[in-house]
Amino acid sequence: MPHAEPPSPPGAVRRVAVIGAGTIGASWAACFLSRGLEVVVSDPSPDAESAVGRMIDAAWPVLQRLGAAPGADPTRWRFEPDPARAVEGAGFVQESAPERYAVKQALLPRLDAALPPEVVIASSSSGLLASRLGDGCRHPGRVLIGHPFNPPHLIPLVEIVGGDPAARQAALAFYRAVGKHPILLNKEVPGHLANRLQAALWREAAWLVDQGVASVADVDAAISEGPGLRWAIMGPHLTFHLAGGRGGMEHFLSHLGPALESWWADLSTPAHITPAMAEALTRGVAEEAAGRDIETLEARRDRLLAGLLALRRDDPG
């Protein structure tokens, strides 16, 4: 999100429909508003409209700090309970309904029927297969995954999966125009890319707590005070390329590859979160939070994220 001002080519999207206004959908709405777009929000929940308003109000100061587009207006949105009516006139649709095939496969054909065929329908799904989301649609090729990382109004990443070539290119162009960093997956896998990486790390983290190797707080600190700082700058491959010194990745693989292979062989493969593991994780997180509620933790996360993103934006690379 917090990159240089987005381009505005002829025919650029001016109105976005956000279908599903939970945590992710409301954050998407704030993101799109900050880029100067008009937003129409739809959600069946009776308190959705007020919840979206609160989310936008809370997010707007940090979005302004990061550099909202000229003329961006936090009030330039409206609520429409009927999703088919909400997408009328939209140039892009961001769907963030509950993460269940049954829900999405009932909803998406309604959106598809109300839209011209060139408008992309992007699902925020965090792990469903894109190839199943277009079932029942007249134009299934325009349905794809546009998966953000929470909170979408701050985190740049969007994973694009599925869809036909025209839809993928349109989605790439749209997300870049609103300052996101989209990546394109060459094939679909459950959980996409970033969530699989995150799940692999957390599987080991949970197992280490379960086995009494370290506390929840110390496992978290092992990431936030160590490799997590580097990962905010570059990913694991480029990080290990630097670890190889002047020999780069080639030297790293020959010098440290055997050690890594021995660690791989010792990594855990738990298939289930046992009651004992769940209890240890829940208790440990409560101790680490030290009485801070969710809102307080979210505010700290967003404040520090904004500072980090501002540094990255201003760095010439």
**Interval 60-74 mean pLDDT:** 94
pLDDT of 54 higher than 90: yes
Residue 43 identity (one-letter amino acid): D
pLDDT in the model for residue 271: 87
Same domain for 202 and 88 = no
Same domain for 162 and 36 = yes
Element spanning 183, H or E: strand 181-184
Confidence of residue 122 (pLDDT cuts 50, 70, 90): very high
pLDDT in the model for residue 12: 85
* Residue 23 neighbours by CB under 8 Å, 6+ apart: 150, 151
Same domain for 229 and 123 = no
Same domain for 176 and 199 = no
Which one of 136, 151, 184 terminates a domain?
184
Residue 19's DSSP bridge partners are 42, 95
Same domain for 173 and 51 = yes
Same domain for 201 and 174 = no
The whole domain housing 271 covers 195-314
Residue 95's DSSP bridge partners are 19, 123
Cα separation of 27 and 22, whole Å? 8
pLDDT in the model for residue 2: 42
Query: What DSSP designation does 141 have?
Result: G
Task: Tell whether 6 is covered by a domain.
Answer: no
Task: Tell whether 5 is covered by a domain.
Answer: no
Task: Tell whether 189 is covered by a domain.
Answer: no
Q: Per the structure, how many domains does the chain have?
A: 2
Same domain for 104 and 50 = yes
Annotate 226-275 with DSSP letters as a single string: THHHHHTTS-HHHHHHHHTGGGHHHHHHHHHHHHHHHHHHH-----S--H
Query: What DSSP designation does 150 have?
Result: S
Which one of 132, 158, 184 terminates a domain?
184
Same domain for 120 and 63 = yes
Confidence of residue 155 (pLDDT cuts 50, 70, 90): very high
Q: Model confidence over 279-317: pLDDT tens digits?
A: 999 999 999 999 999 999 999 999 999 999 999 888 877
At 275, which CATH number? 1.10.1040.10
pLDDT in the model for residue 313: 85
pLDDT of 1 higher than 70: no
Same domain for 286 and 166 = no
- Reference 194, options 144, 140, 235; nearest CA is 235
On average, the pLDDT of the chain sits at 93
Same domain for 34 and 145 = yes
Task: Tell whether 290 is covered by a domain.
Answer: yes
Q: Model confidence over 165-215: pLDDT tens digits?
A: 999 999 999 999 999 999 999 999 999 999 999 999 999 999 999 999 999
Which one of 154, 184, 214 terminates a domain?
184
**Interval 247-266 mean pLDDT:** 93
Distances (CA, A) of 97 to 47, 118, 193: 15, 22, 20
Same domain for 178 and 40 = yes
**Interval 57-62 mean pLDDT:** 95
Q: Model confidence over 69-113: pLDDT tens digits?
A: 999 999 999 999 999 999 999 999 999 999 999 999 999 999 999
At 59, which CATH number? 3.40.50.720
